Structure 1
Amino acid sequence: MSEQVIRHRGGGRDENGKLIAAGSPVPLTAIGVAPGGGSKRLTRTRTGEDIVHVVYFPLGTDVVNADELTVRGERFRIIVNDWRMRGRGGLEVLCSRGQG
């Protein structure tokens, strides 16, 4: 079952502190959204962050680590992992939230 999520790209400040214009939000169709494990800390994440959702996309989906995703009404920082096995693969996107 597919699910729609929203990709947010750009925005924030550059190295000189000047505002960077944000791009328009882009809807993406995910293969699926799975729970991320709650308050468990995973070694793939940055220190002090919890994985709330894991979103799966087909290979070639335009999503990178600098983006953010809105999943089920909440916005998250992301970590993108691509995987391939026997000619098949996809993108695994970890949606994280800093805690503490």
Structure 2
Amino acid sequence: MMAAIALPENLDLKAAAPLKAALIERRGGPIEIQADEVRRLGGLCLQVLLAARKAWSRDGQAFSIKGPSEAFVETTRLFGAEGALLSAEFQGAES
């Protein structure tokens, strides 16, 4: 069974620890991150998500981000992390 986490609107510094705890709780199986409500994505939460993506990959488990908001995608791009975090369908074709 796939676990799911719906991200809050504001992924600021205060959201990093609860996000990490929620991810650790669900480790060991496939996970779907619902990012459609995100309006602000801070660097620390982005790092937590990148670390989770790496951990799930090492475990051989599926890790997907579904329906990321424009703000989520744009912030991920600004940090240069879209290739590591977002599936190809959400990556811009910027030259």
TM-score interval, normalised by the smaller of the two chains: under 0.3
Which has more radius of gyration?
1
TM-score (norm 1): 0.23
TM-score (norm 2): 0.23
Structure with a larger share of its residues in strand:
1
Structure with a larger share of its residues in helix:
2
